[in-house]
Amino acid sequence: MKFMKYAVLFYTSVGIEPYTSDSRPKKVSLWSNLLFWANVINLSVIVFGEVLYLGVAYSDGKFIDAVTVMSYIGFVIVGMSKMFFIWWKKTDLSNLVKELEHIYPTGTAEVEVYRLDSYLRSCSRISITYALLYSVLIWTFNLFSIMQFLVYEKWLKIRVVGQTLPYLMYLPWNVQNNWTYYVLLFCQNFAGHTSASGQISTDLLLCALATQVVMHFDYLAKVVERQELNEDWNENSRFLVKTVQYHQRILRLMDVLNDIFGIPLLLNFMVSTFVICFVGFQMTVGVPPDIMIKLSLFLFSSLSQVYLICHYGQLIADASSSISISAYKQNWHNADIRYRRALVFFIARPQRTTYLKATVFMNVTRSTMTDLLQVSYKFFALLRTMYIK
């Protein structure tokens, strides 16, 4: 399915087959399994070293280093949780994709009526932009220490940088001028790629699935609004039955979508609240200009991720609510009295807005981002107070 190609690409890079379907049969690959477990084990080892460093930095009173490594740990938690839940929910996701394939528009006429090309272009444009943004972020972090060494020490010769690693982690030995530095450099870059790919792939998958749900909601709203009614109860009732069945099918898809992504989204919002706070705090403690650029990119990427999810949540809410408005715009005054009475019940269901949900605790819309930023600022103010004291 064209909507999912970018998500599948990033899943493949970490050895995950996110789903199987009629158009994508199951593939058993030893290489994919090895790649997946290599990613998981390497990332786990790196984040364990970061957790140890956090404990050491806190006990030594290195407050800024502790905050810095907590932002790295938060980034990893989001990436690992998203990969894990997609791997765990593969069967449900496969069933969801199969159902979407069954109602996917086929033939020139259906493609035009559904405006498939418009939704596909929008999804592809957003997917490419988001994937490039996050790729630039992670490789800026991965290669930053190397670029500092080459530019400041080797080229400009203005300061000694030494062999530093991209991410802070506890090491019981000195890696300077040691072959283990290159091994750790590769492992940290590998871990950074894994964590970023876990986030990019899952976010793009959500983007693709949400776009298709919105497409079906919009199509249903357009069909309902444009239906020409008359006094033939049998004809009108058949139309209403088909409309209700189609609407229920979309609602079932949303239930499955929320079941798959509910917990990862909740974790994403919770951790992102702290990551945004930690990165913002680092930017206010007087860091050099080059570090400020790196942190600005991290902050912008984290905000973009939250906004992307909230944006699609808002699109789903708006599209689901529009069906009741479209039904009211019908020429129902020409229909049989029985149809008018039945239409009241049909209008009532879309008025209960369908939401993208981060479990039962949160309905995701654009206002969710406002709430998240308010909470993040409160923690930021608390951190500043602790740091000053």
More confident residue, 132 or 145: 132
Q: Would you state the pLDDT for residue 67?
A: 87
C-alpha closest to that of 210 among 253, 262, 246, 248: 253
- pLDDT tens sequence across 256-284: 999 999 999 999 999 999 889 988 888 88
Q: Would you state the pLDDT for residue 1?
A: 65
Q: Would you state the pLDDT for residue 389?
A: 63
State yes or no: pLDDT of 130 exceeds 70. Answer: yes
* CB contact at 8 A, 16 and 82: no
- pLDDT tens sequence across 43-70: 999 999 999 999 999 888 888 888 889 8
- Alpha helices by DSSP H, listed for the chain, are 5-13, 30-59, 63-88, 90-102, 107-114, 116-148, 179-226, 233-282, 289-328, 337-351, 366-388
* 93 pLDDT tier (thresholds 50, 70, 90): very high
Provide the residue ranges of all domains of the chain, joining segments of one domain with +. Answer: 4-388
Please compute Rg for the chain using Cα positions. Answer: 25
Q: Token digits for 386? A: 């602790």
- pLDDT tens sequence across 174-187: 877 788 888 998 99
